[in-house]
Structure 1
Amino acid sequence: MGGLLSGIDQSLISGANLYLPGSLHLDTKQVSLVSSGVPLGAVGGALMLGPLNEWLGRRMAIIVSLVLYTVGAGLEAGAINFGMMVAARVILGLGLGLEGGTVPVYVAESVSRKYRGNLVSLYQFMIALGEVFGYVVAAIFVDVKSGNWRYMLGSSLVFSTIMFVGIIFMPESPRFLMHKGKTTEAWFVWKRIRGEDEEARKEFFVMKHSVDEEFALKQEAGRNRRFIWMDFLTVPRARRAIIYANVMVFLGQFTGINAIQYYMATLMAQVGFDAKKSVFMSLVGGGSLLLGTIPAILYMEKFGRRFWACAMLPGFFIGLLIIGCSYLIDPHTNVAGAQGAYITGLILYEGFFGSYACLTWVIPSEVYPTYLRSYGMETSDAMLFLCSFLVTYFFSQMQKAMSQIGLTLGFYGGIAVVGWVYQLLFMPETKNKTLEEIDVLFSQPTGELVRENWRSVKVTIADFFCFRWGKVFSPVSEGELFRGENNRMSMEKGEEKDEKVPMSQ
């Protein structure tokens, strides 16, 4: 429900933007600020994430976000001028930022490692489904003669109310309870959601040991909690995690996804669709994003994060290439060609990005150490919505300055290419690892990770050009992953080993 609500509130503005400016007499800059008001407010919501998650817990932080959602949606529907609309969008954004960073952490801290990637990916699926619902709602109310945009924007009240009722019956995150020293309460929640089998008991014991060890290390180092943020600079393991997570978030946003989502109907109009058809055709983009998330939900844990990221980026770069080329076709002389090329590129871009976008929620939710997870997610959440605000607010100006093809292919496409190279060299594999095993992974030096990744890239390229495609696309088995992990740990202890399997595989 959190993802569904997030997606709805991000896509409703696309259809409303065709009618709202005329009703409230907004100029181009005011429309840009209204459109980007949600991601701007979400930056503030993200900055509230750490304190509220630490003081109130994951569950109560979600409840606070739902109150903000409801207030913001009510103000949107009743806005009578530009100032009231911007205030409503910012308040709605506060709820979005707080909820968007808390729900993935709540899931990651509660579920088994073999389901974690799939279930956090399901959050992105629900965002995409919510965006489709937003376009559907816009299409439902498009023929309302007076104030259709008010019905569009106010419809999210229904979904925030449903989620508010549902979250009341949910337990607190067991890892958060353990982090706060409530071991008994954490165990009761753990039994409720995970059962009492041997694997669940072992993971609970490892979690308790890891949290106790983190607390002991902090006490031994004499760190004061007022300066806990310094750990992201002074502790190599935490520093690697925050850089890695936020680069992934940056790549997800600066390849243009939210700019295209927020201005979907406007972009459709630029290639020859009228206002009403633009609203309906927006469903094509939203539907492609939704369908694109399904493979990630089903196969994220089978193929792993690294393979998924490196395979998806080239795909949506091709989509951006086709979208850019569609602008070379004059819609006045060849409207079918311009529309066909644009829709084809949009389907490819949104489809591949749907799978890639799942990583921007999975990666930050699992790479931070437990005692820094709230603060780390705060930075990642703030980065996500700050980037979203920048690409949304400056979209019109950048399109005018760079031209349509320059922005789409040169800027967004160029960042996709640079990001692909980054991922090949710096991205580790966290598939099928507990959160405590990921701590060990991020404790290795960055140089060692890059060397292992480079060896893996060379082997994959050789397999690809020698037509050994079965090896290129085959998932790594659990045994191989654990053998690589054990070999690395043996090397650290100075023990002999027969072979070393790169962890990056």
Structure 2
Amino acid sequence: MTEKVVSNDQAVLSHDEVPTKTETGLGEKFPATQKQDIARQLAENAEGEIRNPLKGIPREQLLDDVARFRVEKGLPEDILPYLQKGALVAQNPAGFERLEELDAADKEAIRNEVLHRWRHPWALYYTIFLNSIAAAIQGWDQTASNGANLAFPDALGIPDGAGSACGPDANVGLCAKNSWIVGLVNSMPYITICIFSGWVSDPLNHYLGRRGTIWIGAIFSVLAPFGMALSQTWGQLAACRMLLGIGMGLKEVTVPVFSAENSPTNIRGGLVMSWQLWTAFGIFLGTCANLAVGKVGDIGWRLQFGSAFIPAVPLVLGTWFCPESPRWYLKKGKFEKAWKSLVRLRNTKLQAGRDLYYIHALLVEEERMVEAAGLNVNSSMFTRFFELFTIPRVRRATWASGVVMIAQQMCGINIISFYSSSIFEQSGVSSYTALWASFGFGLINFLFAWPAVFTMDTWGRRTLLLFTFPNMFWSLLTAGLCYLITDKNARIAAVATFVYIFAAFYSPGEGPVPFMYSAEVFPLSHREIGMSWAVATNNFWASVLSLTLPRMLAVMQPVGVFGFYAGLNLVALAMIYVCVPETKQKSLEELDYVFAVPYRKFAKHQLGTVLPWWFKRWILWQRTAKCPDLYHNDNDASDQGENSA
């Protein structure tokens, strides 16, 4: 055996120091010292190594391990060849062409994962389509209140209060006399998600699975809009919007996780970001609905609220036809059902067998890491919540997901999404023209989200964020300064133009990344509670924004509000640069090693290595400047040696 000398605080198992392996390629319990090494590596992966747990296992032993795995897990005998060939491919992904066990069709299928990476079964795209409908509901729910803000305060007789900062002729929906009540009504769904539905998603996912949780959320999304449309007081409207928040929260937590767990690694970003793409489409549809009923009279705001039930109907009817998450089945020990799901979600049974065995092998290693750290993999929801902040690997994911979620509110997009009609009206246009301006915002938001589908897995999540935030800063700041233009027509045109530019930069970056990123960074043991934390964080700040913005507009005017949020873009940019690792082209389980790298090492690499390289490459234009990678992935190697021969 080859020895690998490392310091005590950087211990990593050498790939030649593989213990005897039985069931899954990770075998029997490790000795105490080796368990400590694994725990230390995953808690503080100072070398940035991303391990393949199958690497180094002799071929015959690996095949025997797979056969034993099939028997112990009660899988059908006829799938053994697919599991064995799949395990050989997973052991050495770059060397599949040399595997004699694969026939021409097998090799062609694996080549096509690169050559035709969007070619997948209809069941996968049907799942993403249903998840996209769930996202569209979210966007429509947001935009319904956007248009209704122009009328419902008057219609429901929201009382005056002291300290009005508006003149007698000002828009009642924006005046300080009722701004807090309007803000409370608008923020109620986000408060509900933060306090209740974001967290109840964890036990619902545990017992009902991804599909069952989404279906319950869809039921609330069908019924709540009718309640909002029929409300006679602002209290009733707030209560109905609380019910709407229950449905929104269940979907926000579950849908991105469902998409991430069903998607192949090489296009996971492009598929999971459909959440934001179709949320933007829902915003666009909501603006269309607002326009359609914008001149029907006193019931217009009721129809704007009520229209949001429309996209929820196909979600209720179609959810149960999707394959359930294979990773959820594996978590429940339902291996045959996980196999059947993967067969529906992958092009060939070879790919299904490879993914089933490799995911399970990685999950076994992840479970051993948790056990070696002295933790219980079946701990309660409350215990797992505290572990979000106590287990180093999980804590880093918690922090990174929290940063991207907070940044989505800091960037200022929701001052437009929630209140664009009111903001455009303050630039000097009529209420109906403001609805048309909001329509333009919704269209831009949707169209410019499409580039992320094709760049999320090539440029990467982090790169998109670092590109969009500086551009959101200057465009939002300029939009605010345009309110100082004295000529009415020029002011309206300038404000709309720079708001649209701001939306165009937001949509392919900070728009799709937060929910997609948060859905993939947590280990399976903490994925539901971790996503609950991320969604609660996002919606807490969304509720703060929604609650305070009417008052801020009344006191600071749009110039001050836009300038305030423009400045927060720079703060968010700095946070992302030092706290958010890249996750593209890595399996969900391989991210255990990415988030085991200490943040001090990650930040030091970004500030001491990447930043100087960027300055030399793009400012001094030194084309020969090289940037060393922080991570070293086993599966990126062209040849893993002869250990498995």
Fold similarity call, TM over 0.5: yes
- Work out the CA distance in 1 between the residues paired with 2:428 and 2:188: 28
Aligned residue in 2 for 1:18? 150
1:176 is the counterpart of 2:328: yes
How far is the alpha carbon of 1:412 from its aligned partner?
A: 1.0
User: Does the CA-based 8 Å contact 1:113-1:432 persist in structure 2?
Assistant: yes
Q: 2-side partners of 1:176 and 1:384: how far apart?
A: 25
Match of 1:380 among 534, 540, 550: 534
The Cα shift of 1:219 comes to 4.7
Pair 1:136 & 2:300 matched: no
* Pairing 1:62–2:192 present: no
**Pairing partner for 1:106 from 240, 247, 258:** 258
More helix per residue: 1
Normalising by structure 1, we get a TM-score of 0.90
CA contact under 8 A between 1:424 and 1:457: conserved in structure 2?
A: no
Q: Aligned partners of 2:512, 2:314: CA distance in 1, in Å?
A: 24
Q: How far apart are residue 322 of structure 1 and its match? A: 1.0
Structure 1 residue 152 and structure 2 residue 284: aligned? no
Residue in 2 aligned with 1:234?
A: 390
- Would the aligned equivalents of 2:411 and 2:472 in 1 still touch at CA under 8 Å? no
Residue type at the aligned position of 2:493: G
Q: Which moved more, 1:100-109 or 1:63-72?
A: 63-72
Instruction: Tell me the TM-score normalised to structure 2 length.
Output: 0.71
Q: In 1, are the aligned partners of 2:339 and 2:353 still within 8 Å (CA)?
A: no
Identify the match of residue 598 of structure 2 among 417, 427, 445. Answer: 445
Aligned-partner Cα distance in 2 for 1:429–1:307: 8
1:350-429 alignment to 2 at 5 Å? 350-355=503-508, 356-409=510-563, 411-429=564-582
User: For 2:303 and 2:469, how far apart are their aligned partners in 1?
Assistant: 37
Post-superposition Cα deviations, 1:429-471, rounded to whole Å, max 9, x if no partner, equal: 1111101111111111112211222211211121111346899
- Structure 2 CA distance for partners of 1:46 and 1:222, relative to 1, 3 Å: closer
Distance, in Å, in 2 between the alignment partners of 1:178 and 1:40 is 33
Q: Can you give the 5+ residue segments of structure 2 that lack an aligned partner in the other structure?
A: 1-132, 160-177, 638-645
Per-residue CA deviations over 1:49-81 (Å, capped at 9, x if unaligned) read 111111211110001101111221110111111
Question: Is the CA contact 1:322–1:344 (under 8 Å) kept in the aligned structure 2?
Answer: no
Counterpart amino acid of residue 9 in structure 1: D
How big is the shift at 1:47? 1.7
Which residue does the alignment assign to 2:633?
Answer: 485
- Give, as a single letter, the amino acid of the residue that structure 2 aligns with 1:425: V
SS of 1:268's equivalent? helix
Tell me which amino acid in the other structure corresponds to 1:8: W
Give the partner amino acid of 1:24: L
| Structure 2 CA distance for partners of 1:159 and 1:487, relative to 1, 3 Å | closer
1:78 aligns with 2:234: no
Q: Distance in 2 between matches of 1:219 and 1:466?
A: 50
**Equivalent-residue separation in structure 2 for 1:470 and 1:384 (angstroms):** 41
DSSP-derived class of the 2:232 partner: coil
Kindly indicate whether residue 448 of structure 2 is the aligned counterpart of residue 292 of structure 1: yes
Query: CA shift at 1:487, angstroms?
Result: 11
Measure the CA separation in 2 of the matches of 1:236 and 1:310. Answer: 25
Q: How does 1:464-475 map to 2 (within 5 A)?
A: 464-467=618-621
Counterpart-to-counterpart distance in 2, 1:129 and 1:65: 19
Matched, 1:321 2:477: yes
Q: Output one character per residue of 1:31-58: Cα deviation in whole Å (capped at 9) or x when no partner.
A: 2222112222222221211111112111
Say which structure, 1 or 2, has more relative contact order (CA 8 Å, 6+ apart): 2
1:376 counterpart SS class: helix
Give the conservation status (yes or no) of the 8 Å contact 1:254–1:391: no
- Aligned position for 1:163: 315
Q: Offset of 1:214 from its aligned partner? A: 3.4
Q: How many residues align?
A: 479
* Aligned residues: CA RMSD: 2.2
Q: Which amino acid aligns with 1:257?
A: I
For residue 188 of structure 2, the aligned residue among 12, 28, 37 is 37
Opposite residue 204 of structure 1, the aligned amino acid is L
CA 1:350–1:49: 2 relative to 1, 3 Å: same
Q: Which of 458, 463, 478 is the aligned partner of 2:617? A: 463
Q: CA deviation at 1:307?
A: 1.1
Separation of aligned partners in 2, 1:469 and 1:19: 58
Distance 2:153 2:239 in 1: 16
Q: 1:397 to 1:19 in 2, by over 3 A?
A: closer
Structure 1 letter corresponding to 2:148: A
Structure 1: 5+ residue stretches without partners: 490-505
Query: Contact between 1:318 and 1:348, CA under 8 Å: does it hold in 2?
Result: no
Give the superposition deviation at 1:404: 2.6
Select the structure of larger CA radius of gyration.
Answer: 2
DSSP-derived class of the 2:321 partner: coil
* CA deviation after TM superposition for structure 1 residue 217, in Å: 4.4
What's 1:496 paired with? none
Which letter does structure 1 place at the counterpart of 2:597? Answer: Q
The 3 A distance-change label for structure 1 pair 98 and 483 is closer
Give the CA deviation at 1:90: 0.9
